[in-house]
Amino acid sequence: MSAPLFREIVKFLSGLEPIQLELEQLYERRLSALTAVEPALLLKLVEEEQAIQQRLRRQLQQRAVILGNARSERLASTNLRKLLHDLSRFVEPRGDIDARQYEQALEWMKRIERRSWSLRQTSWVNWHVVRRGCREFTEIRNLIANCGERPAEQKSGPCSTVTGGALIDTAV
């Protein structure tokens, strides 16, 4: 009863970890491409990320199946970590799950959770760099389009007497 569910969790973790590692490497390459301003590489990375996202979606589907199977066995867990802890009562000698494998699965789960947190942080940094770059690009484009003058909606602030700036010489 509990051993097949445990094996499903282990299979899920073994499928998720390589995807996380690939995503981690992709985010590092993306950040390097962003700082080096390599648009061709960025486009290639978008394609790679989409493929990884597809694999992650399949993992999420597998996760949903595992949680559904747990519910059918009257283990109403909302996530895999809690389900793994719920399965602790089936570890040897009381049950049919090997104690050593169970401890390894717990460590694996912790490692995956730490990596998930790190991926969220790295993703946030990437998003922030892109957003900031877009904002800077927009400001430069507006300065060029307005011959160094601030758009009308920006002229009403405390620095409304300032026109252009040191960044762009509009006389050229």
Q: How many separate domains does the chain show?
A: 1
| 77, part of any domain | yes
Look up the domain containing 79 and give its range. Answer: 2-115
Q: Dump pLDDT digits (tens) for 119-160.
A: 999 888 888 888 888 888 788 888 888 777 766 665 555 554
Ordered DSSP codes for the chain: -HHHHHHHHHHHHHHHHHHHHHHHHHHHHHHHHHHHT-HHHHHHHHHHHHHHHHHHHHHHHHHHHHHHHHHHTT---SSHHHHHHHGGGGBTTTSSB-HHHHHHHHHHHHHHHHHHHHHHHHHHHHHHHHHHHHHHHHHHHHHHHTTTPPPGGGTTSTTTT--S-SS--TT-
| 25, part of any domain | yes
| 142, part of any domain | no
| 74, part of any domain | yes
Q: Does pLDDT of 90 surpass 50?
A: yes
| 153, part of any domain | no
Predicted TM-score of the model (pTM): 0.71
